[in-house]
Each structure stands twice: as structure tokens, then as C-alpha cells.
């Protein structure tokens, strides 16, 4: 059964909600695609990669003053410095990462472990005071970039890793989250473009409509999700996302244990 428009919309909603939250979009894609019985379709994997462009565009639109300011040259240099570790390790370890993506147990365990960590993050970094990344040093940017590499392990969550890395460098939850969004743009664009170059010949004429709808839905939902997350995070912190990750990870393990075929 080929992906329908409604299935495309559902996956795009999941992508838009989870991509920038510290909950791992990978784990959610596994469950939803498997429950819709489209997880083994080659187009499903291509679709999940392609609709990241819609999510990226949401960040650029929300923070357009930052991205399109001609006086912000140092900001782009720091983004580049933070992006370099993921670019290097992602290229070198691409095949290993793809192999791990096929291992549902790895994804589930990382969801649970990451969730447990999020339960304590607010307490660990309660006294961080840098409320803006404008004065971020290049060393701080590089350090956050290395934290992002941890998210190459499926289920870790790129957002969670970079936000924790930002707080580790002294930034408040809000500032760390915003830099995580900024860093998502070059990181996700590079990863998505690389995957698409490898698989573009798999796109059939009838798939263009699904990809267009998916990107549009992911863009709109990501706009709303980012606004909600920043407001919620500033007031309440990470704990609820920790509990949620643990629940999702245990659900994946349960589905795997009872024999449901789960593949990314």
C-alpha cells in the first residue's frame, strides 16, 4: 500500500511537532509509520527526510531578523563552527548511523535514557544566567557542536543534545533552545540534501504532491510548536518532556517485544 495524502499529513504533523522538541522525531516516526503499515516503504524514508525542509523554513521565518541581518556576520560564523563537528562525523559515520537507525532497541533505549536525563536537567543548570547568544564565544559554539554529535545516536534527539550543551556552556533554557533552533538550519539542511541526492531518483511523478503537502504541513505545525515550546520551556522546564520520552521509549520496547515489526 502506497502512502496516502492523509498518511502524509499525519507524518508531517508528527515531524512539525517533534523536530524541535527534545523528544526525538525518530522514535515518533517509528511508531506512527509502523502503526500505519507504511514503515517498510522506501518512499516513507525519503518522505521523512524531505519534509525536514518545511521544518527548517519555520525556523528561518520565525527568526528572520536574525537570519537576514547583514550585520550578523559573526553569528553565521559561530553557526558554522557549531555545525562543523556534525558535518565531519556525520560524513565519516554515515553508514554506521544508518545501520543504527534500523535497530529499534537502540532508539528505544536512547529515548528512555535521554528522558531520565531530562528529569534532572533543570536542577543541574538552575543557576545559568546568559540569556542571549549574542556574546557567545567560538569555543562555546564548538562545544555545543560536539554535543550535537551525540544526537547521531538514534533516539537521542538533536534538540535535547544541543539544548543541554548550551546550558552546559552557561546559557539559560531560552537562549540554549533558540541557538538549538538556529543550529538546526545548516545541520538539517545538509543532512536532508545529502540524503536526497542519494535517493532523488526514487521520486515518482505522483509523489511530488505528497512531498509538497508534507512540507507545507510540517512548516505550519513547526511554527506553532516552536512558539509553544519556547514559552513552555521558559516557565516550566524540561521535566515533562523527560517523562514523555520515557513513556514513548517503553512503548516502542513493548511493541518490539510483542512482535510488531518496527523499522525506520
d(CA 162, CA 185) in angstroms, rounded, equals 13
Helix axes 42-50, 173-199, angle to 10 degrees: 140
pLDDT at residue 17 is higher than 50: yes
d(CA 21, CA 264) in angstroms, rounded, equals 19
User: Mean pLDDT over residues 165-193, rounded?
Assistant: 89
Query: Which grid cell sits at 182?
Result: 538556529
pLDDT at residue 234 is higher than 50: yes
pLDDT number for residue 264: 47
Strand, coil or helix: 130: strand
d(CA 219, CA 21) in angstroms, rounded, equals 15
Helix H or strand E segment including 86:
helix 73-92
Tens-place pLDDT, residues 244-260: 999 988 988 888 888 76
Report the chain's C-alpha Rg in angstroms: 18
pLDDT number for residue 259: 74
Q: What is the pTM of this model?
A: 0.84
pLDDT at residue 217 is higher than 90: yes
d(CA 154, CA 156) in angstroms, rounded, equals 6
Q: Write down the domain spans for the chain.
A: 5-257
Query: Which grid cell sits at 264?
Result: 525506520
Q: Rounded to 5 degrees, what are φ and ψ at 171? A: -90, 150
User: Mean pLDDT over residues 195-223, rounded?
Assistant: 85
Task: Please classify residue 128 by burial: count the beta carbons closer than 10 Å to its beta carbon, then call 0-12 exposed, 13-18 middle and 19+ buried.
Answer: middle
Amino acid at each position: 500500500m502506497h502512502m496516502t495524502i492523509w498518511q502524509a499529513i499525519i507524518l508531517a504533523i508528527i515531524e512539525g511537532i517533534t523536530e524541535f522538541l527534545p523528544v526525538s522525531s525518530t522514535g515518533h516516526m517509528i511508531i506512527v509509520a509502523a502503526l500505519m503499515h507504511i514503515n517498510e516503504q522506501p518512499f516513507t524514508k525519503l518522505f521523512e527526510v524531505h519534509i525536514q525542509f518545511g521544518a527548517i523554513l519555520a525556523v528561518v521565518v520565525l527568526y528572520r531578523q536574525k537570519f537576514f541581518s547583514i550585520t550578523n556576520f559573526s553569528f553565521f560564523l559561530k553557526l558554522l563552527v557549531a555545525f562543523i563537528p556534525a558535518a565531519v562525523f556525520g560524513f565519516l559515520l554515515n553508514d554506521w548511523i544508518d545501520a543504527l537507525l534500523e535497530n529499534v532497541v537502540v532508539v528505544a533505549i536512547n529515548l528512555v535514557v535521554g528522558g531520565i536525563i531530562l528529569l534532572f536537567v533543570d536542577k543541574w543548570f538552575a543557576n545559568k544566567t546568559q540569556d542571549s547568544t549574542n556574546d557567545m564565544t567560538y569555543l562555546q559554539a564548538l562545544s555545543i557542536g560536539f554535543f550535537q554529535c551525540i544526537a547521531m545516536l538514534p533516539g537521542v534527539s538533536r534538540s535535547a543534545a544541543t539544548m543541554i550543551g548550551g546550558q552546559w556552556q552557561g546559557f539559560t533554557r531560552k537562549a540554549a533552545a533558540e541557538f538549538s533552533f538556529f543550529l538546526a538550519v545548516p545541520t538539517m539542511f545538509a543532512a536532508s540534501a545529502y540524503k536526497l541526492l542519494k535517493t532523488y531518483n526514487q521520486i515518482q511523478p505522483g509523489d511530488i504532491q505528497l512531498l509538497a503537502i508534507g512540507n507545507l504541513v510540517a512548516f505550519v505545525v513547526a511554527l506553532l510548536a516552536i512558539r509553544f515550546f519556547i514559552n513552555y520551556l521558559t516557565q516550566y522546564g524540561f521535566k515533562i518532556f523527560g517523562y514523555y520520552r520515557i513513556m514513548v521509549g517503553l512503548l516502542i520496547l513493548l511493541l518490539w517485544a510483542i512482535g510488531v515489526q518496527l523499522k525506520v
